[in-house]
Chain A
């Protein structure tokens, strides 16, 4: 690689890394401390806890994995539950990839980008990338996501070491960081009525569907219904707005 080309990549990468380390990385990192605690509870080595952050890179999947093993769930049930809870990555990643599309982009690079998709990188990328020149977006995104992953791997390790040392209310607080943080960052990223409806319906319908349908399909059903209603309302408002 020539010096010009490496600068071309390194500077936006560094900016992304710095923007994440300034704050978002520590919020995600804190929310993944609970995963370390859960991993220790089931007697798995610290390496597995840290690897779960790097390889799974999805708080709810990691929480589900260690909590289900602790509860004695069947392996097939664990994989199914995680699979259903992770279905969100399909629409999330599909919505993000076009923003990061480059001419002649390799399959490997797209898969690496896809691996980095998680709540924070997704919410922040959708918010920040449109204001960044398209040739700088990919390195910026990688810098941002790499900072999140590095900091979180570290905090997962710390969470593992702290397990058993922290009092019960704090342990509960660490486990509640994931949902509190997810909801806060989603609400912070709201761009219009459609987003508000999607979030509200998602929150309300998931427990209802869990009771009515269950078996993992409840999340998909509530997501499809909530998202579609939000989409229709948004479209309806847009056409009305342009007509009037």
Chain B
């Protein structure tokens, strides 16, 4: 457990920590985007580049969350985690982009694998 910063500690510490170390580092990029977007033309080819970089970044976050898994997920073997992702993608591609179905299938593989292997 990370200990509170001593001179800021108190009953409000969890709220303060959330704002300082989670809200600000996340929100700052959304605010910066407002500033940048004002100068960008709607039809600029750069927008397409920006969108694709965002896609690749998002996929990178997925890879990190699965490889360096938090909490109880770390106890599930990596192969099961990867299989769950693969099944979800296969379902989205096969069943005309039904996200809910894909999520359920991926979760079934993950929970099933975790139960079976433990």
Contacts and interface: CB of A to CB of B under 8 A. Distances in A.
Contacts of A180: 84-85, 88, 102-103, 106-107, 110
Nearest to B63: A206
A222 B58 contact: no
The secondary structure that dominates the B interface is helix
A94 B34 CA distance: 7
B105 to A, nearest CB: 9
Given A90-B29, A176-B66, A181 B56 contact: no
B2 interface: yes
Contacts of A92: 33, 51, 54, 58
B61 to A, nearest CB: 5
Contacts of B1: 42-43, 69-70, 72
A197 B25 CA distance: 28
Chain B contact-residue range equals 35 or more
B110 A95 contact: no
Interface string B2-31: 100100000000110111111111111111
A84 to B, nearest CB: 8
A68 B19 CA distance: 15
Interface in B39-96: 40-42, 45, 47-67, 69-73, 75-76, 81, 84-85, 88-89, 91-93
Contacts of A179: 61-62, 65-66, 85
Given A172-B76, A176-B66, A231 B52 contact: yes
B42 A98 contact: yes
A230 B54 CA distance: 11
Interface stretch (A1-9, A10-18, A149-157, A184-192): A184-192
Contact of A182 (B45, B62, B107): B62
B43 to A, nearest CB: 9
Contacts of A42: 1
B57 A187 contact: no
Contacts of A26: 100
A38 interface: yes
Given A44-B14, A65-B18, A119-B58, 4 more contacts: A27-B100, A126-B51, A198-B56, A201-B56
19 contacts: A26-B100, A52-B22, A56-B22, A64-B70, A67-B70, A75-B20, A86-B25, A88-B58, A89-B29, A97-B34, A115-B27, A172-B114, A176-B66, A177-B103, A180-B88, A198-B55, A204-B63, A210-B67, A218-B60
